[in-house]
Structure formats: C-alpha cells, structure tokens
Amino acid sequence: MIIAKTVKEVREQVNEWRKQGLTVGLVPTMGYLHEGHASLVDRAVAECDKVVASDFLNPTQFGPGEDLESYPRDFEHDCELLEAHGCDMVFYPSVDEMYPDGNGKTDTYVEILDDMPKQLCGKTRPIHFRGVCTVVSKLFNIVVPDKAFFGQKDAQQLAIIKRMVRDLSYGIEIVGCPIIREEDGLAKS
C-alpha cells in the first residue's frame, strides 16, 4: 500500500491509474480505524479498481472544547487494517498540507447555507458541518474519485455530503454503506 503525505503524490498516482483506464474509490476517515471503516474499504474494493483512503484528523470540524486534542490516533494500526482490506493508497497529510495558511486555519469554506445543517446536530456544533464539507470537498478535488464511501451511521453527515455534491455539481457517486454493530447492537464508532 502506498503511503502518500502530499497532495502532489496523490495526484500523480491517481493520474497514473486514470491513464490505465482504472476507476478510483475514496474512503474518507479521520483515522483510528475499526470494522466500520473496514467495511467501507471492502465495499470500495468491490466497486472500484483502485481505492484511496484518507486518514486526516480534520481540525476545522471541531469547535472549542470538542476534544480535537484527545482524539485517539494509531496510524500504524490504521495502515495494517487498510492494507489487509485491499486499500491501494492511504493519504496521510499534515495539517499544513491540507490548510496551507497554518494552524488548521482557512479563509475558504464550503458551507450549506439553508437550515439543513442547523436543524441537525449543527444546532449544538455550529461549525461542524462546515468543516466536514470543506475537508470532504478538498479531498474530492485532490483525489477526484469516481465514487466516495461513507457510513450510514453518520446519517446527517451523509445527507449533507449528498446535498453538497448535488449543489456543487461534483461528478462523484456517494455510496452510503450499512452500519456495522457491536455484538450488543451498538453502532461501531
């Protein structure tokens, strides 16, 4: 599995695959992967010739006091899981690679301005969906996948991403994948 840390490396590799006529699937993640993520990779592997997973803890979707600093990370384990499930490339950028202004700041956001995000958990996390849309939009522009795979567990996020794809005319199919549960029925998270 290729580990790419820069936008340039991802673009060069995806261009190479495109020249060979291969389709590309994207599985966006924030790392600390579990069986739920593995099921997204499995689906992407089944539906696309090549699969890219992103592993990026995105600061713009966390508000003050929302535990960005204590979010768990284990890149080594993430790579093992991704490779075991047939992922071809993991994009593991630094914060500065994704947000060149530094410190995870940007002046350019993608935001759905109607009431949809405000009615959802955006009520209590006002900048969350703006950060999600911004980073997912950036990932779409970097990887330019044919399909992108998201869990139905985050149903609000899935609805918002589908809306963004429609509104911004992205030619990307959004595939919502079933929830994977613990033995006691709790959704894996």
Residues annotated catalytic, as ranges: 37
Q: Does 39 bind ligand PAF (CB under 6 A)?
A: no
Residues forming a β-bridge with 2: 89
Decide: is 146 part of the binding site for ligand PAF (CB under 6 A).
Answer: no
Per CB under 6 A, which of residues 115..134 are in contact with ligand PAF?
132
Does residue number 55 form part of the binding site for ligand PAF (CB under 6 A)?
no
Check binding of 143 to ligand PAF (CB under 6 A): no
Report how far residue 79's alpha carbon sits from residue 171's, in angstroms, rounded to the nearest whole number: 29
Q: Which residues contact 105 (CB under 8 A, 6 or more apart)?
A: 99
Spatial contact of 134 and 162, defined as CB atoms under 8 Å apart: no
Site string for ligand PAF, 1-30 (x = CB under 6 A): ---------------------------xxx
Using the rule CB under 6 A, is 154 a contact of ligand PAF? yes
CB 68 within 8 A of CB 55: no
Q: Under a CB-based contact definition with an 8 Å cutoff, are residues 92 and 79 in contact? A: no
Residues that bind ligand PAF (CB under 6 A): 28-30, 58, 61, 132, 135-136, 154, 157
